[in-house]
Structure 1
């Protein structure tokens, strides 16, 4: 039985990386276990680890669910100077999504449920 998950991305400069992810998540890390390492619990039991090191080429994308993808895109373009963040939509897919890259080449993205009832049910199942 799986009870938690972590995903790790590597950055060449931990101070810049930590600042970048603090802006992305609108908060400081939840855990700083040692030098060169920062962790955020994105939702209960789901952690993103940012480690200093050599980034893996074309890693990801790590996609995070958001309530308002257009609003998040505007925020990231302004605050993190993200220049390539196109939002996609396909008729057979129940979400719209977008992918962007951090300064170290890691691929990240957001998605938003199209059906707000599905989104509400998903949120309820996570926060119970």
Structure 2
């Protein structure tokens, strides 16, 4: 079965969110389907998109696992974005949680050190 994932993030201010997510992901969107939506490709068949939905903004919670969490943390810090919270689970898995201007949480997890 072929599978594509589109993980949506509702935002209040599209322009402000677009700028923030460009800094978080380190690139402009892969495509912009309309005036209030932007889409980033994280990996093959795996997409994250923002969409202006003020009444629903601030409730997204997504976690993306990466091979090198430390590299990702360094790259986002260079772009002026730092995690709001870091966690380490009992099994050693680490997670950094970023919070956008609306309160949506985007976590990046990585393997134990």
Same fold (TM over 0.5): yes
Secondary structure of 1:33's counterpart equals strand
Under a length normalisation based on structure 1, what TM-score does the superposition of the two structures give? Answer: 0.72
- The CA RMSD measured in Å over matched residues stands at 2.3
Question: Where does structure 1 differ by over 6 angstroms across 4 or more consecutive aligned residues?
Answer: none
Q: Does 1:106 align with 2:107?
A: no
Q: Rg: which structure is higher?
A: 1
8 A contact 2:98–2:107 mirrored in 1: yes
Instruction: Indicate the residue corresponding to 2:29 in structure 1.
Output: 29
Instruction: Indicate the residue corresponding to 1:89 in structure 2.
Output: 88
> What are structure 1's unaligned runs of at least 5 residues?
116-128
How many corresponding residue pairs? Answer: 112
More helix by share: 1
> What are structure 2's unaligned runs of at least 5 residues?
none
Under a length normalisation based on structure 2, what TM-score does the superposition of the two structures give? Answer: 0.81
Larger RCO (CA within 8 A; separation ≥ 6): 2
Tell me, in whole angstroms, the C-alpha distance in 2 between the residues paired with 1:111 and 1:103. 21
